[in-house]
Structure 1
Amino acid sequence: MDADAIKAAVKDPENALVIALKNDGAVVIDLLPDVAPGHVERIKKLARDGEYDGVAFHRVIEGFMAQTGDVKFGKAETGAAEFRRAGTGGSDHPNLKAEFSRTPFERGTCGMARSAMPDSANSQFFIMFDQGHFLNGQYTVWGQVVAGMEHVDAITRGEPPANPDRMLSMKVVADL
């Protein structure tokens, strides 16, 4: 998918992302700044700073979701010993206050990962393979996949996968 096709697929290029996956797979996400302004701001900042580039999908559960975004331990250059800690790290920025909403978790919904503490989201996020209404009101929704869900469906499964897929890059569409 080229830059023009990506821009045509979104409502607002400043509030949309494109994640490049293997085999030229582009995943386009509409951001929801009206639902989760703080989380959207953080995701865009980390994307613009290149923090998500090369980060692995470290937890991918069939029928549920694909989790990524550990910018501390999820990068290829981290090394095997530290990669075992993928899923426990975040960015150098402070954790975010929860922005729970009535927006439901459906196929393609993007939500922030967190610990048991509601205000512990930082950089990690997940993309739903299917609906997950049991998450509604308990995790922050910040985006929705609008193109390329077939590439999300092709992400290697595992907790962690033996050979994890990675985000080659993540960009704000306005910056393409």
Structure 2
Amino acid sequence: MASSQVQKVLCPVCHQADQVQKASVAYENGVTRLQPPTMPLAHIGMMSYIVIAFGLVAMGAFFILVWSGTSLGDWPIAVQVTVVALTILAIIAALVISFLAFIRVVRGDLKTQQYLPAYDKALENWRRLYYCKRDNVVFDAQTNKIISDAELRSMLSVETNVENQEQSQQAAVSHQK
């Protein structure tokens, strides 16, 4: 018969298991330094693009609705062509601005995707950690090593993990040459 005993994790300082918690449980119980890594997000300012495109569309609607309602057909042909050309240009400009805004969003998403493997690594590190309430220490149960606050911040930092990934990729490329 298979036993379903849960192996207790011992604190490396006091060598007891009664006050040891996973980092996630300790964070839920108020140990704020054990906050999980934050998911990387791209913050892209789009308001200026939206305002400009809306203004151009409003100008086009103004030309079409207001001027056409004032019997534009009685105006000289040059004015009619100018109004139509300006309206078409405003619509095209709004489309171009919308396209540029879309490109910015895509670039932001691509930049965020570069950080996702580092985020996964930081989250994996966080899930491995334990906290001893008695000794107020954080440790890695796999290595039984106590983690200082500086090491903890470094382990859970997405930016640090991105730098480590870039260094390992550069080392792999230099070994291939």
- How does the TM-score come out when normalised to structure 1? 0.21
Select the structure of larger CA radius of gyration.
2
Greater helix percent: which structure?
2
Greater strand percent: which structure?
1
- How does the TM-score come out when normalised to structure 2? 0.21
